[in-house]
């Protein structure tokens, strides 16, 4: 019994040490100007000050694990992939000071626990993100060629699907995929809009389209036995179904040798597919995390719109706390298309927000992950 207790304590200590290596507690401050009078202006300044404090906390944590020379050399990379997504790296924080906007400068101090690991290595965090996005489904479509000839069997596609499932991603129903495999995957790779339309048809939120080819690079006959060497190249794009935007893109290559042409070719394709799946999953997860923890874009399509109700709607929407940008993309024949950038925290309740705007009478007619269709009433 004592031995078991000792082993349990050792395990707990090791687990705590591992967790500690992936976290760092820091203190930071953030400031923002109060640009106008009123409670709403003060709240907006507070949000901005808190965001800057969180960013400063992440900067400190990143700086503690990266030397200054690397920090300078890779500043743009850090700025794009870390600093722009600060809330996804802050696991928790406490506000230690708050001046409530005195002298028109809002200042907040925080004590934050920052995670410096990637999202996919934290399955719990990824699950939280997927829950907030209503468990988006992924669809995988690949075309494959060996020595310039189209091959059946879907070696890379099957491997990609297994990798996605193993990574906690939800795929569309397998029976639906059987119908898709008969289609021309090359068309969807070259045309993101077509891929997005296909994804909507089968109920997916993200479509991963790709191409893979394996070509003979060497052959020999050691001891009279034929050996073939193949190199596979695989590329893929992940497309957001609602917007038809490419949210991930990458490639991978691998080589394999074997006693038969097709087995060697397929083995090289399998290896390249596994590497490619990891890259694409990382990028999709980063995109989803950014939506949840930072800002995300939602498109609102309004029907029965006119010059009066659409302008009133856009003004009211711009005043909502957490709405970062409202941009009218087009207005024609009573239909207005509006792109809205919001804080990820507003996502789940955004439908209730827009239908509850004061003096705005609209009804939601349809909704997907990144689009809401509404009708203006009362005309």
Q: Is residue 17 part of a domain?
A: no
> How many C-beta atoms lie closer than 10 Å to residue 144's C-beta?
25
Q: Is residue 6 part of a domain?
A: no
Q: Show pLDDT as tens, one digit a residue, over the chain (379 residues).
A: 544 554 444 444 434 433 445 678 889 999 988 888 888 888 888 988 998 888 888 777 765 544 443 343 333 334 434 444 556 678 888 999 999 988 889 999 999 988 765 434 444 556 666 776 777 889 888 888 898 887 776 788 888 888 888 777 888 876 666 656 545 666 677 888 888 888 888 888 899 998 899 999 998 887 778 889 999 999 999 998 888 889 999 999 999 988 888 899 989 998 998 889 888 988 888 788 777 767 788 899 999 999 999 999 999 999 888 888 899 999 999 999 999 988 877 777 888 899 999 889 999 998 887 889 999 987 5
CATH number for the domain spanning 70: value is 3.30.1660.40
Segments forming the whole domain that contains residue 308: 295-376
Task: Give bridge partners of residue 121 from the DSSP assignment.
Answer: none
> How many C-beta atoms lie closer than 10 Å to residue 255's C-beta?
16
Among 265, 292, 319, the domain boundary falls at 292
Edge-to-edge strand ranges of the sheet holding 105-115: 23-33, 105-115, 90-98
Regarding whether 261 and 151 lie in a shared domain, the answer is yes
The candidate with the shortest Cα–Cα distance to 139, out of 167, 186, 181, is 181
Q: Is residue 281 part of a domain?
A: yes
**At which residue do the structure tokens 């109700």 appear?**
309
Q: Which residues of 67-96 are buried (b: 16+ CB within 10 A; e: fewer)?
A: eeeeeeeeeeebeeebeebbbbbbeebeee
Q: Is residue 361 part of a domain?
A: yes
Q: Is residue 251 part of a domain?
A: yes
In angstroms, the CA 298 to CA 242 distance is 9
Regarding whether 301 and 285 lie in a shared domain, the answer is no
Regarding whether 346 and 248 lie in a shared domain, the answer is no
Chain-centre distance for alpha carbon 330? 27
Q: Is residue 315 part of a domain?
A: yes
Dig out the tokens for 269 from the structure: 């394709």
Q: Is residue 184 part of a domain?
A: yes
Contact of 12 with 20, CB cutoff 8 Å: no
In angstroms, the CA 140 to CA 238 distance is 9
Query: What is the per-residue DSSP string for 165-194?
Result: HHTTPEEPPHHHHHHHTTS-HHHHHH-HHH
Among 69, 87, 117, the domain boundary falls at 117
Among 241, 274, 292, the domain boundary falls at 292
Dig out the tokens for 145 from the structure: 């060629």
3-state helix, strand, coil in the chain (%, to 5): 45, 35, 20
Regarding whether 236 and 169 lie in a shared domain, the answer is yes
Total domains present in the chain: 3
Regarding whether 230 and 361 lie in a shared domain, the answer is no
CATH number for the domain spanning 179: value is 3.40.50
Regarding whether 229 and 173 lie in a shared domain, the answer is yes
CA 232, 237, 115, 107 dihedral sign is positive
Regarding whether 259 and 153 lie in a shared domain, the answer is yes
Please give the C-alpha separations between residue 199 and each of 118, 169, 193, 195, 238, in angstroms, as whole numbers.
28, 16, 10, 6, 11
Please give the C-alpha separations between residue 69 and each of 58, 65, 80, in angstroms, as whole numbers.
18, 12, 18
Contact of 232 with 212, CB cutoff 8 Å: yes
Regarding whether 158 and 110 lie in a shared domain, the answer is no
Reduce the DSSP state of residue 301 to 3 states and report it: strand
CATH number for the domain spanning 322: value is 3.30.70.60
DSSP letter for 378, please: -
Regarding whether 272 and 155 lie in a shared domain, the answer is yes
0.85 exceeded by pTM: no
Regarding whether 324 and 247 lie in a shared domain, the answer is no
Q: Is residue 352 part of a domain?
A: yes
Residue 378, classified by CB atoms within 10 Å of its CB into exposed (0-12), middle (13-18) or buried (19+), is exposed
Regarding whether 280 and 151 lie in a shared domain, the answer is yes
Longest dimension (CA), the chain: 87
Regarding whether 287 and 317 lie in a shared domain, the answer is no
DSSP letter for 126, please: H
């Amino acid at each position: 019994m004592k031995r078991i207790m000792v082993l349990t304590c050792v395990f707990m200590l090791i687990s705590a040490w591992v967790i500690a290596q992936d976290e760092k507690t820091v203190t930071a401050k953030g400031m923002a100007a109060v640009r106008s009078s009123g409670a709403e202006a003060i709240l907006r300044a507070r949000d901005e000050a808190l965001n800057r404090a969180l960013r400063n906390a992440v900067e400190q944590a990143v700086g503690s694990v990266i030397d200054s020379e690397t920090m300078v050399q890779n500043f743009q990379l850090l700025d794009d992939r870390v600093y722009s997504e600060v809330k996804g790296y802050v696991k928790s924080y406490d506000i230690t000071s708050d001046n409530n906007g005195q002298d028109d400068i809002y200042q907040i101090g925080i004590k934050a626990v920052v995670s410096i690991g990637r999202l996919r290595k934290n399955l719990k965090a990824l699950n939280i993100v997927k829950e907030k996005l209503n468990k988006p489904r992924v669809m995988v479509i690949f075309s494959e060629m060996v020595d310039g000839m189209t091959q059946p069997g879907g070696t890379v596609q099957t491997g990609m699907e297994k990798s996605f499932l193993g990574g906690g991603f939800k795929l569309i129903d397998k029976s639906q995929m059987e119908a898709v495999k008969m289609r021309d995957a090359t068309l969807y790779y070259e045309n993101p809009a077509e891929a997005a339309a296909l994804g909507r048809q089968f109920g997916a939120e993200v479509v991963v389209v790709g191409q893979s080819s394996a070509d003979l690079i060497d052959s020999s006959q050691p001891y009279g036995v034929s050996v073939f060497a193949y190199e596979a190249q695989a590329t893929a794009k992940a497309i957001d179904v609602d917007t038809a935007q490419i949210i991930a893109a990458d490639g991978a290559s691998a080589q394999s040798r074997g006693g038969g042409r097709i087995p060697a070719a397929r083995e090289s394709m399998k290896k390249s597919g596994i590497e490619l799946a990891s890259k694409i999953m990382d990028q999709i997860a980063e995109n989803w995390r950014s939506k949840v923890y930072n800002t995300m874009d939602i498109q609102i399509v309004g029907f029965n719109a006119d010059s009066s109700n659409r302008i009133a709607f856009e003004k009211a929407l711009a005043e909502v706390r957490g709405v970062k940008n409202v941009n009218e993309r087009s207005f024609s024949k009573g239909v207005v298309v509006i792109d809205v950038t919001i804080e990820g925290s507003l996502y789940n309740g955004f439908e209730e927000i827009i239908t509850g705007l004061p003096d705005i009478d609209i009804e939601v007619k349809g909704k997907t992950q990144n689009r809401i269709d509404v009708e203006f009433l009362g005309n």
